[in-house]
Amino acid sequence: MSYAGDVTPEQAYDALRDDPDAVLIDVRTRAEWTYVGVPDLTALNKQVVCIEWLDFPDGQVNPDFVDQVRSMCPGSGAAYLLCRSGVRSVAAAEALTAAGVPAVYNVLEGFEGGLDEHGHRAVSGWKVAGLPWRQ
């Protein structure tokens, strides 16, 4: 692991609450933000930073990802990266860390978590943890 570490959705929310400089970066696609929902940090007086790691619909790595993170998150706080299930956010965290961005964390389970026995994303993740979100 080249990034700072993995945290649960609850740990990420607590860190965002406790550290005024910490940011949540949602690395999913625009389609996911629009049709599935996004974390809601208004109770913390924060907004989620949405930057695609993979471009939609072609699935290619966003070549401007690191620069976009640097321009949208110029502070010195920790960055918590969230995707659908906690996989894409690992690659994004590794890329940011390799580019010299310090204190980058992956949010395990992501926004929707893994699949249950019926193929539904209803077993883990930000939403299942009961953390605030909106659609």
Domain range annotation of the chain: 5-134
Q: Which CATH class is domain 5-134?
A: alpha beta
User: Which run of H or E residues covers position 16?
Assistant: helix 9-18
pLDDT at 1: 67
pLDDT at 63: 97
pTM of structure = 0.95
Asked if 5 and 105 touch (Cβ cutoff 8 Å), the reply is: yes
Q: What is the pLDDT of residues 44-81, one digit of tens each?
A: 999 999 999 999 889 999 999 999 999 998 887 899 99
Mean pLDDT on 19-24? 96
pLDDT at 11: 98
SS3 for 75-107 is: CCCCEEEECCCCCHHHHHHHHHHHCCCCCEEEE
